[in-house]
Amino acid sequence: MVDHGPRGRSVLVTGGAGFIGSHLVEALRTENDVRVVDDLSSGQESNLVEGVTLVEGDIRDLEVLQEAIEGVDLVFHQAALASVPLSVEDPERSHSVNATATLSLLELAREEGCRVVLASSPAIYGEPEELPITEDHPTKPTSPYGLDKLALDRYASLYHDLYGVETVVLRYFNAYGPRQGDSEYSAVISAFLEQARSGGPIAVHGDGEQTRDFVHVSDVVRANLLAAETEHVGEAFNVGTGEATSIRDLAELVRDATGSGAEITHTEARQGDIVHSRADTTRARERLGFEASVPLEDGIRDLCGAIEAAGD
Ligand code: NAD
């Protein structure tokens, strides 16, 4: 499927039954020995392709993590309570999954001598003070999720600086694609597609002028494969397209792609929503050699095709 990336390695994907993790597993499994650890809390076993070993369990359980990481030389850490609202409801759970379990994983990676590529988030930046957002933007998270990802991000850097662990942090902007389910990030694309396919209306929160940087999951996977091999360890990279799309324009794209002619309506603005978000992609381009390649129109059209093919 991919012509670059790790080969002949023993790889662990935490959260490999989830949206991004399962695409990563698919890209890795023909050339590598791939193991997944997942408690199937939001991921599904049916997302896993054949030939992949599943260690079913909670990454907060040290024995589970130890079993999963034994003999591995490369880890992609995707497992998380990946939801801002859930983290607001239950900050202790968010901290234990997103921060504490990451620390345990880094400690085991130090013992095993593995490289770790970690999934972080622009939620660490909080409300942007300037756009596009560079990796050096101030960090003022506005949710427990953002704060826990900031801990993950900083621990990764510290484990590199203090102990020489090869860590690479990827801060994904709004990822989208097949198998996304109900993730709190780009759930807007899934929601609009569902509304359009059932005849509409497509409900936009507020005036729809808020913007996001939507990045296709295949690009997110490629960024991970590049991170597995880069010499720029101990660093963090934004993973986005560098393009901003308004939610209103997104609604129109979805309507056109589905050919539904659904009406677009506006509902109450959501409290606490960040108004604009867009990645500065310079560092990822210059140091990782990463550039997003899937235009949003194409990604949405393919997603419609995938949903129809699945007979959903
Ligand atoms: P997802 O919910 O589909 O995947 C997370 C996976 O982790 C699921 O399979 C879930 O079952 C598993 N998991 C959760 N808690 C666990 C635990 N305690 N033990 C073991 N497994 C556990 O989410 P996703 O969208 O694929 O996100 C993947 C990663 O990317 C997450 O770390 C998320 O925070 C990060 N991220 C995602 C986006 C995005 O746009 N989707 C943006 C920024 C960062």
- Of 20, 22, 170, 186, which is best to mutate to test ligand 1, by the most ligand atoms within 8 angstroms of its C-beta? 20
Tell me what percent of the residues of the chain surpass a pLDDT of 70: 97
Name the pLDDT band for 1 (thresholds 50, 70, 90). very low
The DSSP line for 38-75 is: E--SSS-GGGSPTT-EEEES-TTSHHHHHHHHTT-SEE
Q: What is the pLDDT of residues 83-93, one digit of tens each?
A: 998 999 999 99
Domain range holding 236?
10-176+216-240+281-293
* pLDDT over 60 (residue 124): yes
Told to judge if 145 belongs to the known catalytic residues of this protein, a careful annotator would answer: yes
- Give how many domains the chain has, as a whole number: 1
CA-closest residue to ligand 1 atom 13: 79
- The answer to whether the peptide bond before residue 144 is cis (omega within 30 degrees of 0) is no
Q: Residue 15 in contact with residue 76, Cβ under 8 Å?
A: no
Q: Is 276 helix (H, G, I), strand (E, B) or coil?
A: strand
* pLDDT over 70 (residue 231): yes
Does residue 309 form part of some domain?
Answer: no
Average pLDDT for 210-219: 97
In this structure, of 106-115, 196-205, 215-224, 268-277, the range with the lowest mean pLDDT score is 268-277
Cβ(65) to ligand 1 under 6 A?
no
Residue 244: predicted pLDDT: 97
Residue 187: predicted pLDDT: 75
End-to-end CA distance of the chain: 25
- The secondary structure element, H or E, covering residue 175 is strand 174-176
- Of 12, 13, 41, which is best to mutate to test ligand 1, by the most ligand atoms within 8 angstroms of its C-beta? 41
Does residue 170 form part of some domain?
Answer: yes
CA-closest residue to ligand 1 atom 21: 38
Does residue 113 form part of some domain?
Answer: yes
Cα of 22 vs centre of ligand 1, distance in Å, is 10
Instruction: List the one residue out of 260, 240, 239, 238 whose CA is nearest residue 307.
Output: 260
Residue 159 sits in a domain of what CATH number? 3.40.50.720
Does residue 153 form part of some domain?
Answer: yes
Give residue for tokens 């490289």. Answer: 115
* pLDDT over 70 (residue 188): yes
Average pLDDT for 117-133: 97
Q: Residue 114 in contact with residue 73, Cβ under 8 Å?
A: yes
Length of the chain: 312
Does residue 129 form part of some domain?
Answer: yes
- Of 54, 59, 78, 186, which is best to mutate to test ligand 1, by the most ligand atoms within 8 angstroms of its C-beta? 78
Residue 182: predicted pLDDT: 55
What is the Cα–Cα distance from 168 to 174, expressed in whole angstroms? 19
Give residue for tokens 């900083």. Answer: 154
Q: Is 14 helix (H, G, I), strand (E, B) or coil?
A: strand
Average pLDDT for 122-135: 97
Residue 310: predicted pLDDT: 78
Q: What is the pLDDT of residues 6-54, one digit of tens each?
A: 999 999 999 999 999 999 999 999 999 999 999 999 999 999 999 999 9
Name the pLDDT band for 2 (thresholds 50, 70, 90). low
Does residue 96 form part of some domain?
Answer: yes
Q: Is 126 left (phi over 0), alpha (psi -120 to 50) or beta?
A: left
Catalytic residue from among 145, 155, 159, 176: 145
What is the average pLDDT value for the chain, to the nearest integer?
Answer: 94
Tell me what percent of the residues of the chain surpass a pLDDT of 90: 85
Phi, psi torsion values for 207, nearest 5 degrees: -80, -10
Phi, psi torsion values for 248, nearest 5 degrees: -65, -45
Residue type present at position 81: L
For the record, the structure tokens of 244 come out as 């901003």
Name the pLDDT band for 162 (thresholds 50, 70, 90). very high
Task: Give the ranges where 113-231 is alpha helix by DSSP (H).
Answer: 144-163, 187-197, 217-229
CA-closest residue to ligand 1 atom 33: 82
For the full predicted model, state whether its pTM sits above 0.85.
yes
Does residue 37 form part of some domain?
Answer: yes
Does residue 90 form part of some domain?
Answer: yes
